[in-house]
Structures are given as C-alpha cells and as structure tokens.
C-alpha cells in the first residue's frame, strides 16, 4: 500500500511549499514556464479531441494527462503554489516569510505566462499553416472560447463578474486537490489516478483556470477572436486569478492545515506538557 495518510500528506505539502519558496529565481521561472507550456499543450489537445469527436467528455477525460506529466516532472503552476507556499508560512518554517510567498507567486505567474504564451504562438502557427490560411476548425473553436469567456461575462455585468469569480474559486478547489493528489501516493499509478479525478471534473464543468486561460485567450487574439486584451484582463484573467487564490486557500489549504497539521502537532506534545501547573 502506498497511500499517504492525510496528516502525513499535509506535512509533505508543507515541505513542498517550503522548498518552492526557497527556490532560486532561475529555477522558479524555468519550472513555471514548463508547467504553463505543458498545461497549455494539454488544453490544445483536449480542444482538438473535443472538436474531432464532437464529445466534450472525451476531451475532459484526456486533458489531465498534461497536469499529471507536469507534476511528475516537478514543474509548477500558480494554482498549485497558491496552496503549497502559504502552508509553509502557516507552519512557521524557518526562512519562510509572507514576502517570500508573494515572490514565489509572482515568479511562477510570470513563468506560467511565458510557457503558455509560447505554446499559444506555436499552436497558432500550426492551425493556420504559419499564418498563411484562415484558422482550421480547432483554431476557430479556440477563438470562440475566448469570446464567450470574456465579452460573454461582460454582457451580464456584475452577475457575470460574480459568476466568473465563483468559477475560478471552484476551479482551484479541484485543481489544488489534484496538487495534493500528486503527494497522496508514492507510486506513479496512484499519483496519476489521484490527480486525474479532480482535474477531469474542473475541465468538463467549464471552471476558470488562470493558467489554461493564459493559453486560450492569447490564442484567441492571435486567431481573430472578437475581444480585446483589456477584455481578457478585466473580464477573465484578473478575476480568475483572485478566484483561484480564494478557492485553493479556503477549500484545500486551510481545511487540511487546521484539521490535520495542527492536530498532528498537538498529538506530538507529551501528555505531561498539557497538564496545567
């Protein structure tokens, strides 16, 4: 049996967060760029499968391969460090400061965008034969996704913004469970299965993932989508990032820390030390 019990899982997550906060700038950027690139390619793959088969469920079933690959290789996503880095800070690990956590978030964000944007350009070349023709069926689908998830929300005003934010919250609830899943087993099949389940759920439900969107929306703009950069930033990326942060912290990091990490620390205190003088 390779199952890691929740209390030990949280310890592993805290240690992972500590290592990520203390990682060098170069390594953080490289890992972020590769994480963003692999996830973007997986999104392109899932859309291609959906367009080809006409069945979104098949695309959702296969999308997690990218998430699984990038975490097995030790790369990073902003949605993941939204959970792991604060755990190390809450646990008061030596050298972990709030400034260090924010630095890690910023560097991973930049790295993710570099990787996702690079794949967006490469895929735009593929679906247009080097910008020599109109986008093929897959390219057109990507462009329409960008429109629906920007001006589509804007058409509903405040209600659209609320919906966007909540979809971001729900997304990183599931994605951060997938991040924990990468540590809940010690064998590759166990890790893959634990990561696959929540990632499939978020993708099929159409929740908003800030890193996937770093691919979808630049791709949409490159492929003639009818929206602007400001539409993308205001009516998707910024609210999605905030929703992802709230979802990961509220529904994964804090519950796991409060009910497992603190309880484990309390159990480690000798009984005699708990008796009042």
The predicted-structure confidence for 29-54, as pLDDT tens digits, reads as follows: 999 999 999 999 999 999 999 999 99
Q: Rounded to an integer, what distance in angstroms lies between the CA atom of residue 174 and that of residue 247?
A: 9
* Tokens representing residue 30 in the block: 């490289």
Q: What is the pLDDT of residue 273?
A: 45
The pLDDT tens digits of the residues spanning 126-143 come to: 999 999 999 999 999 998
Q: What is the pLDDT of residue 222?
A: 95
Domain 6-264: give its CATH superfamily.
Glycerol uptake facilitator protein. (1.20.1080.10)
Residues 6+ apart with CB under 8 A from 83: 13, 17, 172, 176, 179, 180, 248, 249, 252, 253
- In the DSSP assignment, the letter for residue 3 is P
pTM above 0.75, yes or no: yes
What's the mean pLDDT when you consider all of the chain?
Answer: 94
Q: What is the dihedral of CA 166, 149, 68, 198, to 10 degrees?
A: 30
Q: Rounded to an integer, what distance in angstroms lies between the CA atom of residue 162 and that of residue 180?
A: 27
Question: CB of 273 within 8 A of CB of 266?
Answer: no
**Residue 274 clears pLDDT 50, i.e. is over it:** no
Question: CB of 79 within 8 A of CB of 20?
Answer: no
Domain ranges in the chain are: 6-264
Cα 218 to the center of its chain, rounded Å: 17
Question: CB of 270 within 8 A of CB of 196?
Answer: no
Residues 6+ apart with CB under 8 A from 233: none
Question: CB of 240 within 8 A of CB of 168?
Answer: yes
Could you tell me the pLDDT band of residue 213, with boundaries at 50, 70 and 90? very high
């Amino acid at each position: 049996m390779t199952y890691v019990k929740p209390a030990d899982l949280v310890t592993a997550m805290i240690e992972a967060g500590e290592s990520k906060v203390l990682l060098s700038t170069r390594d953080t950027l490289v890992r972020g760029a590769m994480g963003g690139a692999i996830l973007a390619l997986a999104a392109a793959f899932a859309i291609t499968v959906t367009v080809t088969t006409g069945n979104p469920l098949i695309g959702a079933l296969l999308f997690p391969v990218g998430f699984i690959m990038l975490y097995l290789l030790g790369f990073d996503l902003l949605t993941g460090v939204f959970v792991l880095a604060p755990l190390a800070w809450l646990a008061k690990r030596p050298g972990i400061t709030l400034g260090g956590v924010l630095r890690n978030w910023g560097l991973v964000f930049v790295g993710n965008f570099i990787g996702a944007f690079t794949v967006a350009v490469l895929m735009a070349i593929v679906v247009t034969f080097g910008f020599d023709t109109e986008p093929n069926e897959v390219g057109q689908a990507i462009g329409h996704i960008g429109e629906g998830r920007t001006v589509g929300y804007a058409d509903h005003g405040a209600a659209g913004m609320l919906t966007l934010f909540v979809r971001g919250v729900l997304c990183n609830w599931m994605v951060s469970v997938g991040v924990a899943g990468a540590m809940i087993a010690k064998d590759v099949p166990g890790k893959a299965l634990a990561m696959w389940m929540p990632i499939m759920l978020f993708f099929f439900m159409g929740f908003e993932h800030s890193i996937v969107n770093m691919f979808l929306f630049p791709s949409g703009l490159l492929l003639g989508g009818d929206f602007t950069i400001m539409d993308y930033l205001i009516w998707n990326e910024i609210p999605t990032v905030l929703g992802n942060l709230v979802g990961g912290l509220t529904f994964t990091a804090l519950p796991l820390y409060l009910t497992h990490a603190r309880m484990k620390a309390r159990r480690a205190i000798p009984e005699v030390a708990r008796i009042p003088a």
